[in-house]
Every structure is written in C-alpha cells, then in structure tokens.
C-alpha cells in the first residue's frame, strides 16, 4: 500500500521474507512481524519500526540511519557492518544481537537491553547508553567503560 509516498506495512506478518538489496527508505513497519527476514544490504534509512519483531533477522551491511526501533524486538539479530548513525533504539531488546563493526554514532540506546550483545569494533561516538542493560556476556568496543557511559549491569 502506498500512501503519501511511503510504503505502509504496519502490523503485517512478513516473517522470513527475503528483502536483500531493497530500497525501503522511510517505510512504515511499526508492529510488523519480521522474524528471520533478510534485509542484508538494504536501505531502511528513516524507516519506522516501532515495536516491530525482528528476532533472528539479518540486517548486515544495511543502512538503518535515522530509523526508529523504539521497543523493537531484535533478539539474536545480525546487524554487522551496518549504518545505524542517529538511529533510535530506545527500549529495544537486542539480547544476543551481533552489531560488530557497525556505526552507531549518535544512536540512542537508552534503556535498550544489550545482554549478551556483541558490540565489538562498533563506533559508539556520541551514542546515548543511559540505562542500557548489559551483562558479563555483552562485548563492548575496546577501551569503552560501559558503566561510565551510563549503561547498567543487569542484576
């Protein structure tokens, strides 16, 4: 469905869909079920994915800059070498997600659940980690003190 020039797929069941190399800038996917979907190398810049289900999804090398993942479920998602500059990930569940090598410059991860997430070699310059939850399995970029950055260890 097209409306106001934006693709509207809110609340749709799109589990397992192959969306490799797609141009989906500004797409409206709030509440969509996207488990196991493959967005490798796709453009989802400025997309709206509030409360979307992206568990086990592939987002490697995707452009996610400026996207809104408020309260999105992204457990075990693979988001390596992706552009998440300025992305909103507040309250997102990123348990055991792999974000290694991604650009999270200026991203907002406040209250995100990062337990078991792999953030090695990510760019977190200017990222908001206030109250982001982590554990002993969370892997951070070398030299980053997560507690000093505002993140909190899970109890």
pLDDT, tens digit (0-9, with 9 covering 90-100), for 90-120: 999 999 999 999 999 999 999 999 999 999 9
Contact 150, 131 (CB under 8 A): yes
pLDDT, tens digit (0-9, with 9 covering 90-100), for 114-150: 999 999 999 999 999 999 999 999 999 999 999 999 9
pLDDT of residue 7: 67
pLDDT, tens digit (0-9, with 9 covering 90-100), for 28-76: 999 999 999 999 999 999 999 999 999 999 999 999 999 999 999 999 9
Contacts of 143 (CB under 8 A, 6+ apart): none
pLDDT of residue 6: 64
- Which letter does DSSP use for residue 151 in this model? -
Domain chopping of the chain, boundaries: 1-155
Is 21 or 1 the better-scoring residue by pLDDT?
21
**Superfamily name with CATH number, domain 1-155:** E3 ubiquitin-protein ligase SopA (2.160.20.80)
CA geometry: angle at 142 spanning 62 and 108, to 5°? 45
Sorting pLDDT into bands at 50, 70 and 90, what band is 16? very high
What are the tokens at 149? 């950055």
Contact 62, 82 (CB under 8 A): yes
Longest dimension (CA), the chain: 46
This prediction has a pTM of: 0.93
Sorting pLDDT into bands at 50, 70 and 90, what band is 2? very low
């Amino acid at each position: 469905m097209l409306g106001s020039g934006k693709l509207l797929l809110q609340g749709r069941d799109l589990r397992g869909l192959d969306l490799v190399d797609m141009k989906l800038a500004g797409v409206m996917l709030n509440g969509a079920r996207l488990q196991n979907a493959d967005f490798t190398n796709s453009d989802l810049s400025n997309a709206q994915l509030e409360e979307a289900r992206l568990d086990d999804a592939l987002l490697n090398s995707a452009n996610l800059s400026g996207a809104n993942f408020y309260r999105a479920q992204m457990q075990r998602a693979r988001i390596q070498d992706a552009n998440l500059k300025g992305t909103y990930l507040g309250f997102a569940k990123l348990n055991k997600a792999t974000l290694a090598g991604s650009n999270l410059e200026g991203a907002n991860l406040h209250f995100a659940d990062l337990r078991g997430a792999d953030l090695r070699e990510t760019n977190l310059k200017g990222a908001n980690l206030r109250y982001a939850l982590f554990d002993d399995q969370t892997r951070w970029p070398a030299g980053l003190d997560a507690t000093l950055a505002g993140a909190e260890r899970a109890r």
